[in-house]
Chain A
Amino acid sequence: MGENVLKNRIKVQRAIHDWTQEELARRVGVTRKTINTIENGVYVPSTFLALKIAKAFGTTVEDVFQLAEE
């Protein structure tokens, strides 16, 4: 069985809203670096931060983050 990894659609959602990483960071209240590491899959955010990101996009967590098998 493959290992589960967390995929995200932050880049897609940002493109939909026409936001830069810095704009999303400002709305969520973190640094651009934090958004960048989450977007690139380097860092797995806490539930709280994932909810804040989804809320900033006006969507659900499942729409931004998905479990995928590697």
Chain B
Amino acid sequence: MSNVIEELDRKRGRYIKIYIMSLAVFLLAWIPHVILKSTGSISVTADRVLIAIFAATIPFQAYSSLSLAAIARKIRIDPALKSALYNELYQVHDMKAWKTGFNSMAICLLVFSILSLFLRFDVIPVAVTAYLIGFGGYQISFYYLDRE
């Protein structure tokens, strides 16, 4: 059982790392795309390149998210795994990470609010960006708190 716990803990960390890295690349292409699109100054080539970059990260994000969900399900159905892997240190890190995620989302929305004084944004890309930055903030914060 002890080996299973440590293995799942390691796997969880590894998939979070894959998710964070793919999300970072996604956002590096997504945010300039949203801003350039709203200014109307994006060329056809830049549009295609940025879309290709952020689309290429989607399989990695999906793979890591589904793997994390599978691990979470495995942990939830086993009381021994649940008590070991959702222990109090995990809960403290989870709570701090939620706070960071919320603050990241709030800062993102503040930046877009200021930018909207000069640019015209569509609501959906801004909402998606805020959500992704909030969720990404949670994952990055949890990863750094939970690593040794």
Nearest-neighbour CB distance to chain A for B96, whole angstroms, equals 12
Q: CA–CA, A45 to B88, complex, Å? A: 8
Residues 85-121 of B, flagged 1 when their CB comes within 8 A of A and 0 if not, give 1011110100000000000000000000000000000
A33 interface residue per 8 A CB criterion: yes
- Residue numbers of A with Cβ under 8 A of B are 22-23, 25-26, 29-34, 36-37, 43, 45-46, 48-49
Q: Which chain B residue lies CB-closest to A25?
A: B2
Known: A30-B87, A30-B88. 9 other contacts (CB 8 A): A22-B6, A25-B5, A26-B5, A31-B6, A33-B9, A34-B89, A34-B90, A36-B148, A37-B148
A-B contact count (CB 8 A): 45
Contacts of A32 in B (CB 8 A): 6, 9
Question: Considering the complex of A and B, which 4 residue pairs feature the smallest CB-CB distances, nearest first?
Answer: A26-B2, A30-B87, A34-B89, A31-B9
Contacts of A25 in B (CB 8 A): 2, 5, 84
Contacts of B89 in A (CB 8 A): 30-31, 33-34, 37, 43
Q: Which of A31, A36, A37, A43 contacts B84 (CB 8 A)?
A: A31
A49-B88 in contact (CB<8A): yes
A sample of 16 inter-chain contacts (CB < 8 A) reads A22-B2, A25-B5, A29-B84, A30-B87, A31-B5, A31-B9, A31-B84, A31-B87, A31-B89, A32-B6, A33-B89, A33-B146, A34-B89, A34-B90, A36-B148, A49-B87
Q: Which of B1, B87, B90 contacts A26 (CB 8 A)?
A: B1
B80-A29 in contact (CB<8A): yes
Q: A22-B6, A43-B92 are in contact. Are A29 and B85 (CB under 8 A)?
A: no
B39 interface residue per 8 A CB criterion: no
